[in-house]
Amino acid sequence: MKRREFIKLLGGVGLVQWPRPAAGQQSQPPVVGVLRPNPKNTETFLEPFGRYMRAIGWQEGRNIRFLFAWAEGRNERLPALAGDLVAQQVDVIITFGDPATRAAQQATKTIPIIAMADDVVGSGLATSLRLA
């Protein structure tokens, strides 16, 4: 996925324009859960992800928090990891691949899910690509 496509996708679901508290209000930064099927030690995802987020104004620890969950190549771990993200009350979950998306969908009906998959409509993960 190219940088502009990734940023456009995240912006389309509201991360870029996430509501910010009014001056003087104390608020926790939004928490984004990221569910990855790959082993963490073989990932080349973290560095570009952080760079892309900073490019659109989101800096870990300053105005956003990321919780990463790694299945270590074992898809059977995805439901438990998705459940952990839901239990931690993340504001949105980003998933990669059909199994991770299905696990997140089963774990929550209220937390928005950003699915990165080959064909989310064709696989039945979504009914359309139209934003509500």
% of the chain surpassing 70 pLDDT: 80
pLDDT in tens, 69-85: 999 999 999 999 999 99
Tell me, yes or no, whether 45 lies in a domain.
yes
In a domain, 12, yes or no: no
Under 8 Å between Cβ of 96 and 35: yes
State the pLDDT at residue 128.
Answer: 81
Give one DSSP letter per residue of 27-64, joined into a string. Answer: -PPPEEEEEE-S-GGG---HHHHHHHHHHTT--BTTTB
Residue-level pLDDT at 14: 47
Helices and strands, number each (H, E), in the chain: 4, 4
The pLDDT-based confidence of 42 (bands split at 50, 70, 90) is confident
Instruction: State the Cα–Cα distance between residues 95 and 112, nearest whole angstrom.
Output: 11
The pair of three-digit structure tokens given for residue 41, joined into one six-digit string = 């030690």
Q: What's the CATH number where 67 sits? A: 3.40.50.2300
pLDDT digits (tens, 9 = 90+) for 89-132: 999 999 999 999 999 999 999 999 998 888 888 888 888 877 76
- Is residue 77 domain-resident? yes
Give the rounded distance of the alpha carbon of 36 from its chain centre. Answer: 9
Give a yes or no: residue 16 inside a domain.
no
Check if the beta carbon of residue 83 is closer than 8 Å to that of residue 107: yes
**Is residue 66 one of the residues assigned to a domain?**
yes
Q: Residue 59's domain spans which residues?
A: 29-116
Residue 69 lies in a domain: yes
